[in-house]
Structure 1
Amino acid sequence: MIRGSCLCGAVAIEIAGTPRSLSYCHCSRCRKAEGVFAAVLIGAVDDLRIVRGEDHIRRLEPQEPWTHRRAFCGTCGSALGELYAGATYVVAASLLDDDPGMRPTAHLNVASKPDWYEIADDLKKFEGNYIPA
């Protein structure tokens, strides 16, 4: 079980099973929500459970061409990711209280990274989005 919570503790999650990936997303939405990039944990939506704070979760609907709904804690503003993205969850790794048992494997949306930021590792790079199967 992987546990996570927001900064104020109002929202808490649990993830059962093994996530599919831990990646860095450089899309402009993730940059604005979390910094230069967002570390995101991706897995099967059935493995995600909101333990507490559903009433604190706020969502920002996407504008085209975006498809993911940004979720955040309405009390402290902590980024939660996209908790329910169809058959997958995309959870902001900053939410995690426990070690997910994996390390980042890829950079997503590198075509959107800021010019002033250089990726200095040898992880896989995807120009656009990528949701592992």
Structure 2
Amino acid sequence: MTPLGAKLRKMRADRGIALKDMAKALNVSSAYLSALEHGKRGKPTWFMVQRIIAYFNVIWDEAEEIQRLAEISDPRITIDTAGLPPQATELTNRLAAEIANLAPEDMTALKDEIIRRALRKKA
């Protein structure tokens, strides 16, 4: 499941909306919406994200969160390390090989550490 998929599923559950009803309102198939929630489809288009925001009738912070989650919800990411130090290639290959073996809390810790270090470098 992607971050966007988890958010959509929670929003539907909180509002008591069936997947088939939301799919019909968005003019997409239930299969597509299910695949989007489960991370079996790539990130949705900007237009689809806007339709989702309108469907849930959210504004401001929640709309921005949905857009942010859509941006980070591509389940099949490619990382180009050409021209970067050898450590970048090793890091991405190790992550690709081991990500399925990591516990969710370890993934969160690694993600937070990468963000922390990236922000430190920008400052």
Give the TM-score normalised by the residue count of structure 2.
Answer: 0.24
Larger radius of gyration: 2
- When the two structures are superposed, what TM-score results if normalisation uses the length of structure 1? 0.23
Instruction: Tell me which of the two structures has the higher relative contact order, counting C-alpha pairs closer than 8 angstroms and 6 or more residues apart.
Output: 1
